[in-house]
């Protein structure tokens, strides 16, 4: 690893101590330089062009590519403020950043989710994925969760450290509550306040959680991402008739437009709205 990257990681830890931004930016930067095989001073606009093409060819969404570009852009801003002769920033926003798209969330069918849960081998795995599925937690929020954030009295709830360093309350379903109890009863005793620990007794990383899911998916023949659990939670709540504003609060969305994607994803909601409108039309015609 280039020493500048480690310095940048330390700077991010100070700037975003509880935000998932530092985790994503650090991961994105390591990924970029691992792909480029060049030093920061050797990166130019053409290398960035090639990286964008590589990301597109491997099926990454525009939002993911733009986040990686933002991480690279911030890295060179950091170098410009800390070095006497910093390299030129190779990221040109108008040239490199891709137009934003608003695709529907990718949820998971309920029968597919049942297959995955049937292969969970231990209380830690079950608690992690129950919280994602029944509480709508992001993978970074699972990583950030500490023992002091858990309140299992009535009503059982979590204090969630969310995206953009925003906090919200997430309510815990009976299934997730039981899974949490099972995990906490066998959780190793350690000074680390994290709810979920690695085998070394330290806070389980985002990459570690993603690795666990890939391991399980290898057994089931599925190809799922951690964020699809959150999408499935949103779809289920929309199907159950939850108002879009309430769902926005539970998911911690800054924009209502983001939450509305789950309403469009819900076939039951769409059908009910269609039938209501069509009945009104028919009444007028009759």
Listing DSSP states for 133-151 in one string gives HHH---HHHHHH-BGGGEE
Which pairs with CB-CB distance under 8 Å and at least 24 residues apart come from 4-12?
Answer: 4/40, 4/75, 4/79, 5/29, 5/30, 5/33, 5/75, 7/78, 7/82, 8/75, 8/78, 8/79, 11/78, 11/82
Which pLDDT value is given to residue 279? 73
Max CA pair span of the chain: 80
At which residue do the structure tokens 């995955």 appear? 116
**Catalytic residue check, 161:** no
| Residue 15: band (very low, low, confident or very high) from pLDDT cuts 50, 70, 90 | confident
Which pLDDT value is given to residue 181? 95
Dist CA 2 CA 270 (whole Å): 52
Which pLDDT value is given to residue 142? 95
Asked if domains 3-96 and 110-269 share a fold, the reply is no
| Residue 260: band (very low, low, confident or very high) from pLDDT cuts 50, 70, 90 | confident
Q: Any idea where the domains of the chain sit in the sequence?
A: 3-96, 110-269
Among 202, 227, 264, 271, the active-site one is: 227
Share of the chain above pLDDT 90, in %: 55
Dist CA 188 CA 192 (whole Å): 10
Among 126, 161, 262, 269, the active-site one is: 262
CB-CB contact of 170 with 135 (8 Å): yes
Interacting residues of 46 by C-beta distance below 8 A, sequence separation 6+: none
Among 96, 236, 253, 269, the active-site one is: 253
Dist CA 55 CA 49 (whole Å): 10
Dist CA 31 CA 38 (whole Å): 12
Can you point out the beta strands (E) in 23-151? Answer: 150-151
CB-CB contact of 16 with 166 (8 Å): no
Which pLDDT value is given to residue 130? 96
Which pLDDT value is given to residue 282? 67
User: What fold does the segment set 3-96 form as a domain?
Assistant: DNA polymerase; domain 1 (1.10.150)
Dist CA 125 CA 131 (whole Å): 10
Which pLDDT value is given to residue 263? 67
Q: Quick one: average pLDDT of 102-108?
A: 70
Q: How many CB atoms lie within 10 A of CB 233?
A: 24
- What does the pLDDT look like over 186-235, one tens digit per residue? 999 999 999 999 999 999 999 999 999 999 999 999 989 998 999 899 88
Interacting residues of 130 by C-beta distance below 8 A, sequence separation 6+: 173, 175, 176, 179, 180
**Catalytic residue check, 230:** yes
CB-CB contact of 99 with 60 (8 Å): no
Dist CA 28 CA 104 (whole Å): 24
Which pLDDT value is given to residue 270? 55
Q: Quick one: average pLDDT of 244-271?
A: 74
Among 124, 163, 187, 231, the active-site one is: 163
Among 126, 230, 231, 269, the active-site one is: 230
Which pairs with CB-CB distance under 8 Å and at least 24 residues apart come from 48-55?
Answer: 48/72, 48/90, 48/91, 48/92, 48/96, 49/95, 49/96, 52/96, 52/98
- What does the pLDDT look like over 23-38, one tens digit per residue? 889 899 999 999 999 9
- What does the pLDDT look like over 46-94, one tens digit per residue? 999 999 999 988 888 888 899 999 999 999 999 999 988 999 999 999 8
- Write out the two tokens for 15: 């700037």
User: What fold does the segment set 110-269 form as a domain?
Assistant: hpI Integrase; Chain A (1.10.443)
Helix (H) or strand (E) holding 119: none
**Catalytic residue check, 138:** yes
Which pLDDT value is given to residue 162? 82
- pLDDT tops 90 at residue 242: no
- pLDDT tops 60 at residue 267: no
**Catalytic residue check, 227:** yes
**Catalytic residue check, 16:** no
- pLDDT tops 80 at residue 257: no
Which pLDDT value is given to residue 268? 56
Helix (H) or strand (E) holding 280: helix 267-285
Among 138, 143, 231, 269, the active-site one is: 138
CA distances from 171 to 20, 143, 155, 183 (A): 21, 17, 7, 18
């Amino acid at each position: 690893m280039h020493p500048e990257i480690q310095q940048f990681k330390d700077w991010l830890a100070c700037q975003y101590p509880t935000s998932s931004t530092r985790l994503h930016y650090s991961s994105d930067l390591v990924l970029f330089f691992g792909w480029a095989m060049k030093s920061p001073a050797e990166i130019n606009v053409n290398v960035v062009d090639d990286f964008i093409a590589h990301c597109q060819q491997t099926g990454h969404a525009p939002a993911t590519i733009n986040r990686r570009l933002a991480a690279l852009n911030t890295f060179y801003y950091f170098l410009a403020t800390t070095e006497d002769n910093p390299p030129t920033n190779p990221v040109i926003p108008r040239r490199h950043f891709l137009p934003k798209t608003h695709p529907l969330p990718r949820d998971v069918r309920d029968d597919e989710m049942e297959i995955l849960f049937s292969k969970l081998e231990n209380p830690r795995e079950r608690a992690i994925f129950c919280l994602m599925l029944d509480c709508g937690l992001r993978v970074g929020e699972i990583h950030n969760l500490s023992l002091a954030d858990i309140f299992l009295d009535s009503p059982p709830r979590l204090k969630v450290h969310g995206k953009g360093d925003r906090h919200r309350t997430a309510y815990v379903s009976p299934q997730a509550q039981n899974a949490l109890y099972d995990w906490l009863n066998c959780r190793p005793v350690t000074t680390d306040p994290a709810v979920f620990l690695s085998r070394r007794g330290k806070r389980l990383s985002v990459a570690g959680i993603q690795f666990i899911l890939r391991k399980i998916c290898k057994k089931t023949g599925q190809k799922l991402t951690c964020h699809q659990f959150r999408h499935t939670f949103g779809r289920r709540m929309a199907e159950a008739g939850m108002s879009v504003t309430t769902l926005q609060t539970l998911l911690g969305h800054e924009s209502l437009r983001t939450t509305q994607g789950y309403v469009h994803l819900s076939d039951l909601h769409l059908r009910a709205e269609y039938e209501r409108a069509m009945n009104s039309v028919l009444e007028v015609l009759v």
